[in-house]
Structure 1
């Protein structure tokens, strides 16, 4: 008897949703649509009054972030920017760059790149060795201090090599060429600051390709 009662209750429970769905008016029949009455429906699919303003602020923040990343890249990798600039015939003509200057620049950058690889590898090795000393069962403070000094020396050597490279790049060009590079740098920055929503770039009017900006050679 209990089994029959349970089966009857289960049948009624399964049939109830089907019956309710059958009573609802079909789509397009002119009956009321229950969806808009659900709480939060309009908020999910309709933009509020401040939605456009929020999207505009996000676009501005993204634009400022891209500018900051680009400036940081130019400061950290002036040689890469300068190398790309010297590949442009129009830039070489404007700056009156000679083939000898190009050859010396490329040799300087090749030597600096090799030194950078060695310095980076040495710093990584020193860090690994310091970690091994720290994880020892009984850390030796004398050895740890010695390794810290070695790590500091390796980091100093890498920074010094970067400074020496920038000075060498500066000496490759004449005062007139460096002055013209400064003008080109300001022109590029002015164009870059004007970029944004509706400006040149994605979503804005087309822009003619421009040469890359000159690197900051200690000016």
Structure 2
């Protein structure tokens, strides 16, 4: 970890992998859309820096990595995102490569009609944070039915549903051609959505936009 000591005498620790994942250089961070470009699948979780340098006025920190990449950080940003000690929650399962073969998977129709299956689905969603729901009809309205089965639809700044398309002058990574990794939508909101659903169509024509509903 990188250890920073602040003027008030407090200290903050930042994991190497977190610093690499949150690099603010133009090739890793879309400054207009204010989001990561680097993908989790391309992240070396065991990475360690070869050097750390702070500017003379203490306003910036540069992290130098073995692949000749440098991650620049404003110390004001690092101060704002300081980590707090937190006890691990019971039953929470950490993500690792083994999840590829043990991803909790359920059938849409079973969830909709069987309360026991619904409970299993919700427990895995709580403990793992990621589930795969198969055989959802590729028709408008079924995401809303699923949400009604669990709780209720919550309106956001994008409405109840949002259609995502690539466009010029994108103000969000969702509207660019960059591949999106796993992410949380609207984390800046006071009360962000608790669960996000993405519908992927297996067959689309070149003239049809690929859309997702959150």
Q: TM-score range by the shorter chain?
A: under 0.3
Whose strand fraction is larger, Structure 1's or Structure 2's? 2
TM-score (norm 2): 0.18
User: Taking CA–CA contacts closer than 8 Å with sequence separation of 6 or more, which of the two structures ends up with the larger relative contact order?
Assistant: 1
Whose helix fraction is larger, Structure 1's or Structure 2's? 1
TM-score (norm 1): 0.18
Q: Which structure would you say has the larger Rg? A: 1
